[in-house]
Structures are given as C-alpha cells and as structure tokens.
Structure 1
C-alpha cells in the first residue's frame, strides 16, 4: 500500500484497572508529559474489574491539558448512540476539543446480554453500527435546523433535537477485522483501529485494500481515513522478535508499517511507565525523523499528506505560494471532509485555499487564474445556489477573515470580515446595543449575504443587509486591493450590493448598524389545511402590520394525510412588548393554533451561529419568486404547488417596508416594489418547472439552486443588467468570477 501521508501520531492503550484507579489516570498524565498525542482505554462495561470507561475518560480529561482521549474501542451495544453523541460532544467542549471516538460493534454477547444489551449476530451488529454512525453524526450536526430522524432496525431517533456540536471535528474510528466491518469503515468512518496482535501483515494489507475500495465506491478519497494500529512489545538490549528490542529496532520495524502500510497512528498497549516513556521519548521522535527523511527523499513534505494527495488535473501544486501552502487543503488531507462541500451541494474541489489577509487573497487569485480549473469563492458555504464549491477546481475560502469591530460607535459603524458568520456578528454587537439585519440563520457567511441582498428578520424595519453597507474592501480579479464606497469606485460599490460575487472578492464590509438591544421573537405553528386562504390573510396582515414586525413563514407537508403545517417566525424590532403583542396577536386567527410562543430576547439569540459542518446533503431544486402581494392568484398557485405540484416545502419571507424605501437604481438589487420573497423546494428536480405557474417577473438569485442565463432577466431589470455588464467589463474583463450566475462583461452594453 502507498504512504497515505498522514502526520504521525503516537498514543498509549491503558487498562482501566479498577483496583488502582489513581495509577490508571497517572499513566494518562505520564503519556501527556512524555509528549504522546493520545491516551486510550479499553471499554468492557460488563467487566466488573474495570473502571467504567466513559467515567474514566471524563476524569482523565479533567486531569490533563493537552493529550487527546478515546475509548479503544467503545462498546456500542451498551452505549446508545444518541446519548453517546451528546456525551462525546459535551466532553469535547469541556476539554477544549480533545476527545476522539473509537467504536466497536460488540463481541462478547453473553456478557453484553447479561448487562441488558441485545444479542445480535455479527451481520446485525455491523448494520447496527452503521445506523449508530448516522445518528451520532446527525446529533453533532447542530447547524441543521430540522429535527433528526433515523428510522433504523436497531437504532432509531424520531425528531431528536440536534446538538451540541463538538468543539472540533471528532473523528469516528472503527475497530474492524472482518470484510463487512472493513467496508463500513471505508464508507462511513474516519479511521481504522485494529490491533497488530490479531493481524498478519498480509491481512493488514488486505484490510487497507478493502477499506480503500469501499471508500471509492462511496465517493470518498481513501486518504480521508486515518489508519491507526494498536501495538505491543518490550524494550531490551537485544533484538528477539517483532517489537522486542532497543528503540532503534522498534523504529526500523515500524517504518515499513508507516510508509508501506500507511499507518499514521501507533498506539502502545502497555501499563508500564518506563515503556510508555521510552516509546514517547525515543521511538516516536525516531520514527518521525525516519519517515520525514524517506518522504523528503521521494519528494514528499515531511510529516504531511501533501505529496501523496492526488493531483487534480490542471492544478500546478508546486507553484502554490508559500504563504498559502500551510493552510491549503487537498483531497486526502485531514480537513478535506470539512471543506469540500457547501451546505446544500456536495463538491470535490482539487484545492481549497484559506487566505488570512487581503494580500493573501490577491496571491490566491493570481495563482488560481493560471490554473485551468473552475474557481469558487466561499465565505460561509451555506448558500443555496451552491456556487461556493465545485468539482476539480479551486476554492478561495475567506473564512479566516472573520473579525467584527465597532469602529465608530457614534455613527454605529461596524467593520465586519467577509468570513464571519452572522451569528458571530450578532453576538459581538450585542454588548454595544447594536444589530445588523442579517438573514434568518446565524451560520450564514457575511460575504455571500452582504453582496447578494440580505433578506432578514429585520428587513421591514431596517431594509436589506446591503442597504446598510457603506463601504467595502475588495480584491479585484487582477489582484489589486481597492476600497469601494460612494466616493471611491462608486460604480463598483453600486454593483457589489446585489451582484458582488461577479465583481471581486470582498474581504471586509463597513456597515451602519441599527440601535437595537432586544427584540420580541415569536414562533407560531398553525394547521394550514386551507392553504390559499391562510396565505392571503397572512399577506394582508403583514402588509397592514407595523414596520417593526417582520414575519417569515414556512409551509410543509407533514406526511399525515397530506396535512399542511405553517410555521411562522417573526421578529418585532424593539422591546415594547405591548406594541409587539398588538402586532403579533392578529396572526393567531390565521387558523387552528398548534403552538404559540413569544419571548423578549437579544437579537443575537434569534440568530446564533451553530458552526455546523457542511456535507452537501441537498439534492433537490430550489426556486425563487419576488411578488408584490399574496393575492388570490398567487396564494392559490402556491397552495396548489404544495398539494400537487411537487413542492415539499415553501417559504415566504417578507421584504417590504424599509426594503422598498430605496430607489430601484440605488443598488444592483433593483427589486423595490415587492413585499414578499417566495421559495419552493422540489425534491424531484423535474418538478422545478412547475414553479413557473406563479408567473413571477422577478427572482432573488440567492434562492435559485440551478440558475442559467435566462434567469438574469428576472434577477436584474434591463437597465440594471446593462450597467452591470459595463461595470463587469471595467473590473473583471476576463470574466474570472464567472461561476456565479453569469454576467458577461460588455463595455458598451
């Protein structure tokens, strides 16, 4: 097998002996002091002579500071996956991101059954483990708003709340030996954790091959799966066998396991303090040095996966600037799973660049322009349109530029990095009594929303997000870094507010915030079986209501006889609870009320940042429409799409009030007469054309997942589009930023 190129890690495998609990924890502390990366413990909950491993992990986490901790491996049949997921996430948060998850399918079934567990056949145990992994990852995905539902044969959750998310991306390692477990490892796990004592070298090689094939069948790169190995041996003056001899012999014997078998983590099974110290202080550094030397001689960077990551066609990795190399991510790198996809769309980029300064963004663009591959720009990656990822291309991810600074409190002027999440912005501004209208979800990135429009919970009160932007720092396609505002590059400043993704990479925004400490946040759920009537009345109440109230409505089929439920989230911008109640109460009459709740809360609590991982879980089509009113025809058509037009979910965002105070020509977002923004989600892509029954003359591009040139006429009125093409010709004549909805440059448009 080839060298997978993972950075080498070293750990210890400690027996959780209940007779000497202090000594067990002392060994973990010794491992940390000696410089090891990982302390692991057996997990046999039915063994009365052992400490409970999860309790031990918690205690050891409190007694250590740096070392990572894991079960080796946790006994899944006696540890329910949903609760286990929360336990792992909680301990990871408490320990500062130091928990890893090793899992086993179970084996000693008499003992498991004696403890109340369910006896399973080996095949059933593998299926149960597969279901458990789905549940665990689902619980950790705190950024997903839908309740978690997994209908398994052995493990099920039915509407569980997600979260908390761990402090770091916790890997799931499987203790596996048989073919079905090995295939599951390749399909779903982050690591393989067997013991060398139970394998021959031929079986180790065959196991890697089976895992790699399963990974590729699942659309994964085999390098995403770390290879760990429990080892045992003894230190002495003479060589007497495998891992029996002086440290130099250990290094010599482990070297081919690292370079030819791809093992990236070696875990010593020992309770001997001297052996642990020798392993940490002599074997680990010796093996690191030997592997680094071998990788250097073959052109690989020491201790990294860089040289062994597959080279995407058209990308010259050797030409990558040094300032970007350390944080770049390629297929096979440890972070690749976290950065490859957007919230909705799966991706397989050949290279993800993560610049931390405008200068590095300029370097990234200069480098990317020389490559013959697609170029995407990402701030948060949450966008529905899917433009922040690609296949085989380059992503410039500005997430590292996430600062939030109040630069002039008197003018309420805030400077926000394009890579920040809106929940972070709200949290940072809350102590200052300030807020910025910023969509309806805290995990959305600043850069995408603040260049496209920004339909948010404060829209009717304070307008779109772009309406409050007064300046921006922009890296242009040719690498120049400029400021765009009303005085400098005013044409670019105009275009950035509504079509910014086509013009450059914004690295920061100056935004005029609103004076707002607390809001009333209400949540209503109705039976909306008379959907058309519900929509008409919702529209009337919204338009007649005070500007301080911004309602957002979601309609969805429940699967129970075609019943349609309506969830309304609304924000009253201010702390006048009497006025808020007067504004909200009329909405209770829309239909049978199933739930009602209203709270006075800081705006930051309405849009918290969950920092959920993006896995590209969406596959349907999302369509958009901007309409002046929810009149009889519009309401009836939208209701028909829900009941028989293939729409699984529809949303109605309100965009009137302050949004329409600006003249259409003030920004590139020119739709200043509409009161409602409609969105439909089609699970069958072919049903998306049904959306055209609405006969809408305008759309919001951020809510179109499969855009094409024909949509531009609805996104931008003719005069706006002509002006955008002139600005495009001036600032991006080579159409570098063309992966958005395409605005072709035309200097005489």
Structure 2
C-alpha cells in the first residue's frame, strides 16, 4: 500500500571509496535528496585509492562538501553506543541536521538496548548522567549530549525475521536491497508482490507494538539492471516501475550506482515525471503526504495544533514534546516554555513553509534567533516556535567595502569571529551569545554605538519572509517603507532570513572591566552620566550593579571598550571613570573585538518561568534621576541593574530615519526583578525621568506602553505597515503593533 511518504530519490554507495566524494557532489548538484553509505569492508588489508574508507570520517568529509543532501551512515557493530551517539549527534550538528543512522543487524534485545542508549544520550535536556545496565550494554555513568540538530532517524536493513521485527517495533525506517528479493522472484511483478508481503509483516509487528505503520519510512535500493526501463533509460518503463514500488509502500528510491550519466537522467527526467504522476494519483485517492510521528511522540502532543496538517518538509525539522531532545529547545536564556512544536529551519524554504503553516494554526507563534532577549518571547506554551539557528552563515561579500551577509540565527560572537580576519566588526551589544535576528531588527546598543551608530544603522538590505509566505527584499530602493520599519520594529512585519551590513574597519582595542566601590550611589550615578557625556566617542563603558549587602558600600562594575591601541589614549579615557570611587579591581588589555564580546553559547538554554524587567531611557542622568535610581537599587527590588549608553553617532542619525525611537537618549536603563507589583510600582515613580525605553530590554507587553515609545507620526506609519504586510497579526508575540 501507499503510505503517503514523500517521494525521495538518492544514491547508495555500497563500497565507501574515494569515488563517494565525486558521486555525492554530483548528487547534490542534481538536486537528489539522499545519500546512503553501505557497509563495505574494513579489514586493514586494502590500500590505495580504492580502499574502503572508515564511515564516520567519510561521512564528515561528505557533509563538509555538501549543504543540502541527507546523509546516512552505519556504525561498526563493536563500537560503544555512547560513542556512536556522540559521533552521530556531532555530525548532525556540523552538517546542519542532515544525518541519519543505519543500525547494525543485531537480533533480539541488543538492537532495543542500542536504540535506548542512543536516545538517552541525545536527551541533553536531562541533567543527570545516564546509567544503563542491560544484557548487552552496561553504562555506569555517561554524560548526556550533545543533542543532535534534529531527531536522527534510526534505520534497520534486511528481510530476515529479526530485521522485519525490528523495523516494525522500533525503527524510523526500513531499507530493502532489491537484489535480496530476486533470488526467488526474478520477475519484477513477483518482486513487487514479495515486497507487499514483507511490508505486511512489518505492519503486523508495528500494530502489535501500538505503532501506526505510517510511522515507518521504507527505502529500496536498486541497481541499474534491477528495474525495467532503468538500464535502457526508457522513461515510460522506468516510470511505471518506480510507481509500482511506491504503490507497494517504497516511495524512497536509492540507486546503487556511480554512473554520472544515469544519475543525471534519474534526476532530470525520471524523478520529475514520477513526482507528477504520483502527486496526481495521491490527490485522486485523497492520500495524505507525510511521515506519521511515532506513537510515543503523538501521545505527548499538546494544545490545539493540527499536527497532521504539517507539511512533509516541516515534519523533517519538527521537534515535539515527545521527542527526546525537546528539552534542549523548549526554553530560552531567561524564559521557560513548553512549545507544542519547534521547527528548526535549515533554509529560506523551511521558513516560508513554517510561516504559511503557522498562519493556518490558531496558536501562539514565536520566532527565535538566539533566544537571549528580555523582551523577545521566543518560546511559548502549546504553540509553534520557529528557530532560525540553522540560518547562521556569515559571508564577506566585499572586504574592501565592508559589505557582509549574515544569517539571523548566527550569534554575534560567530559574526565577530568571521569578520576578524578582515579587520572588520559590527557594533552588536555587549554579549557574543545574543542572536543576530532579534537585535538587528530592533536597535543594537553596542560598544561602538557612540562612534559608529546602532546595529540597525549598519543595515544595507534585508531578505524577509512575510506573513503571506512571500520573500521580499527591503533596502533604501526596494520596499523602502518596509526597510524603514524593519529597523526598529522589525519583529512585527516578517522573518528576516538574511541581513546585509556595511561594517567598519577595526584593529586592536582596549577591553575594560573596572570594579568601583562607592558609599554614595546617587553621586556615583550622576557623575558617571557626566563622564559619559564628556568622554570622546571612541569610548563606551556600560554600568552594572545591584543591591548591596546591608551596611556595605555599593560595588559598581563598568565594562566596555576604548577603540584605540594607544596606551596614553586609553589611560586618558579611563581615568575619569576610575576617579568616580574606590577602584577595587581592574582589567584592561589590548585585544580584538571578537575576544571582547566573548564566546558563542553552546548547548541548551535553561531559562524558567517568566522574566521580569523594566526599561527606561534618559537624555541625561540628572541628580533627581540618580537619586531615584539609587533608591530603587537600595530598595532591593533588582539584583541586576544596568545602564547602556549611546549618544554620539547613534544620536546623530535623524529621528525619522528609522522606526527606532529615542535617538536623543544617551542612557538606557534596565532593571530585572522578581516581584512584579513592587517593581512596577517603583518604576511608575521613576517614569517622570524617562522619555521612552529600549524595546529589547523590557518584558512589558502593555499596548499603551509600547505605543508610547513612538511618536504619533511614527505609530501611524507602523500601523499602516502592519496592515500592509501582516494584516492578520501573525507576528504578534513580541512588542506587538496591532493592525
């Protein structure tokens, strides 16, 4: 029977030799979907170019040379399952969620134990080590992780009773070699009947275990001489053969060949013809296309999401609550959540499909780049999360002009590292773990903001997926009004899939960390403001403090950069800050911008609950404002109080040049707390000092407060943009501008 599985064409390499590299490159260029690496033989006796290659090494090489084709390899049977799990997960992360795994042909319980251990190691969201004691494997304590980039499908191969049982009971996929069937069924029609019989046995095992047979993908590996019409490239005959196999449930076709002419014919002639015919047959029969998730996953689905309507392409990148590494993706840096599905986009088409599908579901929809923001609600409960982490390429388009293209899922530390060899940098906040997408659509208050402007001031163009699923480009000449709105209120209008920045040349800089003790926090804050405004634009020092212990002086951290490598200049810039109080610790050293903003984050984020922060912006820190801010800190309402500074080049940009509001504000205050009522009451008392706030620093979603950030004229323009680009308000789970 036709299980409705997506039609797939690929190549199978039975002998993993150097020829695999050329065949894989051709298969990807032709747009084939899949490549599997067979067992071969590795006994140490073969040498030279035709020797069989170790699978993981070969798979890593193939992954590095390709960007889209799915890769499946097989571990050696004697390898520790923890090693297998980590190798497969690492390859999946490095390849961008393109790894699948063929399990050894074990019988009985050994395969079950292996699958159990693999799943447990990949469950990096569980913090305690794995302890496992079975008949075949004993693991006293193994650290979990890394989690793979997606749920790695596990395949079994063969037509033995053990293989059929394992395929039905635990595998995600089952592979049959056509040649294994032809010994007793030489005629094609007889072979198809044999396949139907074997498929029913797999289905019987699946149903007995409580599974739906549609959970199990089915691949068949054929040689050039196996299928009628294939050897002679007779399109009609070959097309009929493939359709017969698809009707028997084997919609995934792997061709065991390295013949470039044959692969080209398969990709350009056979595959499109079969796809058209099969689509018509399925449409007439009402066959739903896709692979059903396993029973354990389906049992843990949440909310009102229509999971069955999820397109087949999205099913490949979906992480549901029942998946073993859902915990790795459910939370953000500050917020905890339990989304009904997380979609790990690999490319722009995934983003388009995700947006279109999300628009059909009446559930919360969040978009995540780095998951680091205070205001960004990039997780939810029982809704859909679109993760852009897979879109993280950084490409230097023109090093002399400083033109670069950056994916929204990159972290700023990754961007800085990629630009450093060219002597380039983008002012991008104060932490390298922040994602590009959330920061570069709202503002971006970085260490070079005074000297070179906000991050949004570097943007030359954006590629955007809109609420309709269309891809548009925005720049000063293309959709200029949308370009205006994306720089300051971007999360409301679409999902950016690519940024083009014109960046700055930079050399060595002074990275600065000062710890200063003060008995008079009011005077310190006021004088800090005076020093900041008097300091040249090449210097930025942010402020961080919290409530002091009873009876103890306050300790204030100042951190940032002096964009200079000259010792005398650095000392001259820092001395006024050091004079603000008793200097109790200092670190000043020459380094690069990439080093200054730190390392990228790895692993799961472990936020929990709902974060609480309030933000405010001031043109100047007056004595009255300093007094009231010091009172807030002394009152113990915040353990994290920060002031970021702009002014300079950021303030020199005309207020109406971008949707970002508050160019005249030099100081941006944020306080994190844990008592909503008390913090809001205190912040209300401070409001007379503020002229708006930086949207990325505040968790308040009150519509009136959000509207108050913008002038009446800007608000009207933003509402008009929202009505044009997102009239259904799909992108609402942030600081929302309702249409």
**Distance in 2 (alpha carbons) for counterparts of 1:395 and 1:33:** 33
Which of 678, 696, 704 is matched with 1:687 structurally?
A: 678
**Distance in 1 (alpha carbons) for counterparts of 2:494 and 2:386:** 12
1:426-575 aligned within 5 A: 426-559=416-549, 561-575=551-565
Question: What TM-score, normalized by structure 1, do the two folds share?
Answer: 0.63
From the superposition, tell whether residues 406 and 636 of structure 1 become closer, same or farther in structure 2 (CA, over 3 Å): same
**Distance in 2 (alpha carbons) for counterparts of 1:415 and 1:187:** 36
Question: 1:91-134 deviations in whole A, cap 9, x for unaligned?
Answer: x99xxxxxxxxxxxxxxxxxxxxxxxxxxxxxxxxxxxxxxxxx
**Distance in 1 (alpha carbons) for counterparts of 2:120 and 2:643:** 34
Tell me what 1:603 maps to.
593
Which of 674, 677, 688 is matched with 2:668 structurally?
A: 677
Does the 8 Å contact 1:349/1:395 carry over to 2?
Answer: yes
- Once the 2 structures are TM-superposed, how far is the Cα of residue 676 of structure 1 from its aligned partner? 0.4
Tell me what 1:721 maps to.
715
1:635 aligns with 2:626: yes
Does the 8 Å contact 2:168/2:202 carry over to 1?
Answer: no
1:730 aligns with 2:724: yes
SS at match of 2:441: helix
**Distance in 1 (alpha carbons) for counterparts of 2:704 and 2:75:** 64
From the superposition, tell whether residues 590 and 410 of structure 1 become closer, same or farther in structure 2 (CA, over 3 Å): same
Does the 8 Å contact 2:511/2:562 carry over to 1?
Answer: yes
SS at match of 1:443: coil
Question: 1:177-223 deviations in whole A, cap 9, x for unaligned?
Answer: xxxxxxxxx98647562446999xxxxxxxxxxxxxxxxxxxxxxxx
- Once the 2 structures are TM-superposed, how far is the Cα of residue 254 of structure 1 from its aligned partner? 8.9
From the superposition, tell whether residues 725 and 198 of structure 1 become closer, same or farther in structure 2 (CA, over 3 Å): closer
- Once the 2 structures are TM-superposed, how far is the Cα of residue 590 of structure 1 from its aligned partner? 1.0
From the superposition, tell whether residues 330 and 644 of structure 1 become closer, same or farther in structure 2 (CA, over 3 Å): same
SS at match of 2:700: coil
**Distance in 2 (alpha carbons) for counterparts of 1:169 and 1:571:** 44
**Distance in 2 (alpha carbons) for counterparts of 1:530 and 1:566:** 11
From the superposition, tell whether residues 418 and 249 of structure 1 become closer, same or farther in structure 2 (CA, over 3 Å): closer
From the superposition, tell whether residues 730 and 430 of structure 1 become closer, same or farther in structure 2 (CA, over 3 Å): same
Does the 8 Å contact 1:619/1:683 carry over to 2?
Answer: no
Question: 1:605-664 deviations in whole A, cap 9, x for unaligned?
Answer: 011213252121464410100001111011111100011151222101011111101111
Which of 677, 699, 705 is matched with 1:705 structurally?
A: 699
- Once the 2 structures are TM-superposed, how far is the Cα of residue 503 of structure 1 from its aligned partner? 0.5
- Once the 2 structures are TM-superposed, how far is the Cα of residue 559 of structure 1 from its aligned partner? 3.7
From the superposition, tell whether residues 39 and 325 of structure 1 become closer, same or farther in structure 2 (CA, over 3 Å): closer
From the superposition, tell whether residues 403 and 594 of structure 1 become closer, same or farther in structure 2 (CA, over 3 Å): same
From the superposition, tell whether residues 539 and 322 of structure 1 become closer, same or farther in structure 2 (CA, over 3 Å): same
**Distance in 1 (alpha carbons) for counterparts of 2:547 and 2:151:** 39
Does the 8 Å contact 1:620/1:684 carry over to 2?
Answer: no
1:125-524 aligned within 5 A: 189=128, 193-195=132-134, 297-301=212-216, 306-309=294-297, 310-524=300-514
Tell me what 1:84 maps to.
none
SS at match of 2:400: coil
- Once the 2 structures are TM-superposed, how far is the Cα of residue 355 of structure 1 from its aligned partner? 1.9
Tell me what 1:163 maps to.
none
From the superposition, tell whether residues 466 and 68 of structure 1 become closer, same or farther in structure 2 (CA, over 3 Å): closer
Between 1:613-622 and 1:658-667, the stretch displaced more is 613-622
From the superposition, tell whether residues 442 and 299 of structure 1 become closer, same or farther in structure 2 (CA, over 3 Å): same
Does the 8 Å contact 1:525/1:568 carry over to 2?
Answer: yes
1:584 aligns with 2:499: no
From the superposition, tell whether residues 470 and 190 of structure 1 become closer, same or farther in structure 2 (CA, over 3 Å): same
- Once the 2 structures are TM-superposed, how far is the Cα of residue 446 of structure 1 from its aligned partner? 0.3
- Once the 2 structures are TM-superposed, how far is the Cα of residue 34 of structure 1 from its aligned partner? 3.2
- Once the 2 structures are TM-superposed, how far is the Cα of residue 315 of structure 1 from its aligned partner? 1.7
From the superposition, tell whether residues 528 and 718 of structure 1 become closer, same or farther in structure 2 (CA, over 3 Å): farther
From the superposition, tell whether residues 254 and 352 of structure 1 become closer, same or farther in structure 2 (CA, over 3 Å): closer
Tell me what 1:18 maps to.
none
Matched positions, count: 518
Does the 8 Å contact 2:340/2:381 carry over to 1?
Answer: yes
From the superposition, tell whether residues 34 and 411 of structure 1 become closer, same or farther in structure 2 (CA, over 3 Å): closer
> Structure 1 stretches of 5 or more lacking a match?
1-31, 41-60, 70-88, 94-167, 174-185, 200-223, 227-246, 260-286
SS at match of 1:715: coil
> Structure 2 stretches of 5 or more lacking a match?
1-73, 95-118, 139-149, 153-158, 172-200, 219-291
SS at match of 1:557: coil
Question: 1:203-249 deviations in whole A, cap 9, x for unaligned?
Answer: xxxxxxxxxxxxxxxxxxxxx999xxxxxxxxxxxxxxxxxxxx989
SS at match of 2:397: strand
Which of 631, 642, 658 is matched with 1:651 structurally?
A: 642
**Distance in 2 (alpha carbons) for counterparts of 1:700 and 1:353:** 29
**Cα root mean square deviation, aligned:** 3.7
From the superposition, tell whether residues 36 and 500 of structure 1 become closer, same or farther in structure 2 (CA, over 3 Å): farther
- Once the 2 structures are TM-superposed, how far is the Cα of residue 440 of structure 1 from its aligned partner? 0.7
From the superposition, tell whether residues 298 and 412 of structure 1 become closer, same or farther in structure 2 (CA, over 3 Å): same
- Once the 2 structures are TM-superposed, how far is the Cα of residue 352 of structure 1 from its aligned partner? 1.0
Question: What TM-score, normalized by structure 2, do the two folds share?
Answer: 0.64
Tell me what 1:35 maps to.
77
1:616 aligns with 2:644: no
From the superposition, tell whether residues 258 and 322 of structure 1 become closer, same or farther in structure 2 (CA, over 3 Å): closer
Does the 8 Å contact 2:333/2:373 carry over to 1?
Answer: yes
Tell me what 1:48 maps to.
none
From the superposition, tell whether residues 723 and 644 of structure 1 become closer, same or farther in structure 2 (CA, over 3 Å): same
**Distance in 2 (alpha carbons) for counterparts of 1:679 and 1:36:** 55
**Distance in 1 (alpha carbons) for counterparts of 2:210 and 2:522:** 67
SS at match of 1:324: helix
SS at match of 1:451: coil
SS at match of 1:647: coil
**Distance in 2 (alpha carbons) for counterparts of 1:480 and 1:258:** 39
